Amino acid sequence: MMDRGRLEAFSDGVFAVAITLLALDLAVSGPGHGHRSLLQQLGAQWPVYAAYAVSFFTIGVLWVNHHSLFGQIAKVDRTLLFSNLALLLFVVAIPFVTSTLAAYLQEGGQDSHVAAGLYALVMEGMAVSFTLIFIHAVRRDLLIRTMTPAEARAAIVRFGVGTVVYLAVLGLAFVSAPAVLAVAALITAYYIFERVPSESEPDPVA
């Protein structure tokens, strides 16, 4: 039998590896390869550092909210397990789309739009999977504390916001890749303060 603890342990493992693999993209070519100084290399790589920081906190905040959400779930069924796998599919793809966005951020033109679109698409997939997990948990009454229909509606609306916002980011990708990264940073900052509805604890989470 699968209990919540193991789903969380496995998800934590995937979050931890994905967040650490982000750093594989931080790399300089070493001395002797070409003639640029280390300072020039680091300076030219600012998109890599910006994208690393944004994606790091995106995964970090998702991890926090993942635990807030599962902290309210009493029962785990197969649909939940596989919705969670779908969420992890997108989490695991974040290092790839981060690296691609960083590589093409300053290119401009179609390539940068495609890179930004790919990034927004994975974020959208992540938001949709996360929302589906919540909706399923509410509908099948898997929560520790059953919500009233009004509460459930309000919570789903708040959750659905992410899926709509990232759709807008997807549109923005066709305008400007740096804007996509900036807006992704803002969304992550927003989710640092806004969180999964819980039993109205003011600040201390435990």
Residues 121-180 that bind a copy of itself (CB under 8 A): 142
Structure token pair of residue 18 = 């994905």
| 114 touches a copy of itself by CB under 8 A | yes
Residue 85 binds to a copy of itself (criterion: CB under 8 A): yes
- Site stretch for a copy of itself (CB under 8 A), options 3-11, 130-138, 154-162, 163-171: 3-11
Instruction: Phi first, then psi: give them for residue 176, nearest 5 degrees.
Output: -155, 125
Q: Shortest approach of a copy of itself to residue 152 CB, angstroms?
A: 19
Min separation Cβ 95 and a copy of itself, Å: 6
Positions in 13-52 near a copy of itself (CB under 8 A):
13-24, 26-28, 30-31, 37-39, 42
Determine the Cα–Cα distance for residues 137 and 80; give it in Å rounded to an integer. 8
Applying CB under 8 A, which of residues 50, 54, 99, 138 lies at the interface with a copy of itself?
99
Torsion on CA atoms 102, 103, 108, 113, rounded to nearest 10: -70
Closest CB to a copy of itself among residues 112, 164: 112
Strand partners, 73: 143
How many angstroms from the chain centroid is the CA of residue 113? 20
167 is written with which tokens? Answer: 């759709």
